[in-house]
Amino acid sequence: MNIILGFIDFSDEGNIFEKIEKFLKKDFSIHKISKAELFDNNELAQVDAVIMNIGDEDSYAVCEIITSIKNSRFNLLPIWVFGERELTYERLLYLQLGVNGVFDKSFSLSELFLSIDNSIKYPCKLQDQPKGIDSGEENCDIKLVHSNFSVSLDGNSEIELTKMEFKLLEFLSVKPKCTFAYKEIYEHLWHQEYHSSKRYRISNTIFRIREKLGDLDGSRYIKTVHSKGYLLNVEEVQR
């Protein structure tokens, strides 16, 4: 499988595109997309994922691009952000907006592309499996196993969660396909008054659950309802 990456460059370094092109192994190809023409010529429809080199660009401009993609018909495209500076504050912000990974000055190109490779190629291989989590079915039944904080999808083997991950999934399972607001989720789990600055706690926990369920882009089990919260996209939950 040849993965096509859409590359958006915020930096002034003209050689970064060539550097990445040379580094890419045979399973990747790269397509440069201009920020100004992001949705022109249907360019995003031709790629499997988006990578952004943010350079020294301020976080507001980067957030605008991420939000534009997430609010478009390409909202399920995985997005990775990277830059050669410290991204401690930006990391949480971008993850809250739904990106799949953030790599700062300590990253290597090998680490970035292994993350993309694992997130895209492996789930695609699983689509040929007959059932359950390996099937790519949109609506599978979930069974919550309270005794060991694990979950089973369509009767497959149990997937272990942390106590907090389990509590969040259990809370969403009270009303499948119903949106739960960030405030509801936060105050139920952490028993504190909700502030938007604390949303990253929810986002990080959701990210870890999705990772364990093989659903990093949130297209199958836990869906993001933009600016509102999350919903559990299943027909039935065994409790």
* Fold type of domain 132-238: Arc Repressor Mutant, subunit A (1.10.10)
Domain range list for the chain: 3-126, 132-238
pLDDT of residue 185: 93
Residues with Cβ within 8 Å of residue 126, at least 6 apart in sequence: 133, 134, 135, 136, 214
Residue pair 230/219 in contact (Cβ under 8 Å)? The answer is: no
Residues 119-144, mean pLDDT to the nearest whole number: 51
The rounded distance, in Å, linking the Cα atoms of 198 and 206 is 14
Look over the chain and give the mean of its residue pLDDT values, rounded to a whole number: 80
Residues with Cβ within 8 Å of residue 105, at least 6 apart in sequence: 83, 84, 85, 86, 87
Q: pTM of this prediction?
A: 0.50
When pLDDT is cut at 50, 70 and 90, the band that residue 186 belongs to is very high
Spell 199-237 as b/e; 16+ CB within 10 A means b.
bebbbebbbebbebbbbbbbbbbbbbeeeebbbbbbeeb
When pLDDT is cut at 50, 70 and 90, the band that residue 112 belongs to is confident
When pLDDT is cut at 50, 70 and 90, the band that residue 45 belongs to is confident
pLDDT of residue 125: 41
CATH architecture of structural domain 3-126: 3-Layer(aba) Sandwich (3.40)
When pLDDT is cut at 50, 70 and 90, the band that residue 216 belongs to is confident
Task: Give every strand in the sheet of 28-32, ordered side by side.
Answer: 28-32, 3-9, 49-53, 79-82, 101-103
- Tell me which range, 8-12, 213-217, 227-231, is most confidently predicted by mean pLDDT: 227-231
pLDDT of residue 12: 67
| pLDDT above 80 for 142 | yes
CA 150 to chain centre: 21
